[in-house]
Chain A
């Protein structure tokens, strides 16, 4: 079946511009996650959505970052007034269920490589 898809695959933007990154999770997966992978660093958790519950935004690095999930499916990560330190690969993952109900494998998309010049 179709996996997690992300768009665009690459994005080059100028410092100070806003960008939107899109994630389409696996059909039927209720949990959706955003992570960031910077050069030489491990994957860093950003935000988590579970069904219709309020998202956990505890991993967002600043208030320039925001995300929404419409209709319990597609998610958009928005970065306002981009800075050079925002350059990274942004990865989206989905799982059957999150929360404390059990451990479910997270399946990752191919990522969006963001370069801020």
Chain B
């Protein structure tokens, strides 16, 4: 069974204080690893897909990286508007559903 574990559960940052979120996974053949952002009362918003170890993707202050066992979401110089819950999910080979972690709730104080 696919497993996704995210840490920490919650992260409080000062504006401009860079940090990283971790997503550890076990899956029987990785087709893709996905990062989503979820704001309160809204559905998850797609951020990145990573397919193979060593791959990196960036979007504004966010950078996602992937190894064979984990992924990191780096937040550089965060702003209050980066406050959200960040979800990690994996899609196994020959599968279609996403298996999600519990998420990391990030709060950025001005």
Residues of A near any B CB (own CB < 8 A): 4, 31, 33, 35, 41-43, 45, 48, 50, 56, 59, 91, 93, 98-100, 103, 105-111
Question: Is the CB–CB distance between A100 and B94 below 8 Å?
Answer: yes
Question: Is the CB–CB distance between A59 and B49 below 8 Å?
Answer: no
Nearest-neighbour CB distance to chain A for B80, whole angstroms, equals 22
Q: List 30 A-B contacts (CB under 8 A).
A: A4-B43, A31-B96, A33-B98, A41-B102, A42-B4, A42-B87, A42-B100, A42-B102, A43-B44, A43-B100, A45-B97, A45-B98, A48-B96, A56-B96, A91-B43, A93-B43, A98-B96, A100-B93, A100-B94, A103-B31, A103-B32, A103-B51, A105-B46, A105-B49, A108-B36, A108-B43, A110-B41, A110-B42, A111-B42, A111-B43
Q: Which residue of B lies closest to A103 (CB)?
A: B32
Neighbouring B residues of A110 by C-beta, 8 Å: 41-43
Chain B CB within 10 Å, residue with most, of A33, A43, A56, A107: A43
Task: Point out the residue from B4, B46, B99, B102 that lies within 8 Å of A106, measured CB to CB.
Answer: B46
Complex Cα distance, B93 from A50, in Å, reads 17
Complex Cα distance, B36 from A99, in Å, reads 21
Task: Point out the residue from A43, A93, A98 that lies within 8 Å of B87, measured CB to CB.
Answer: A43
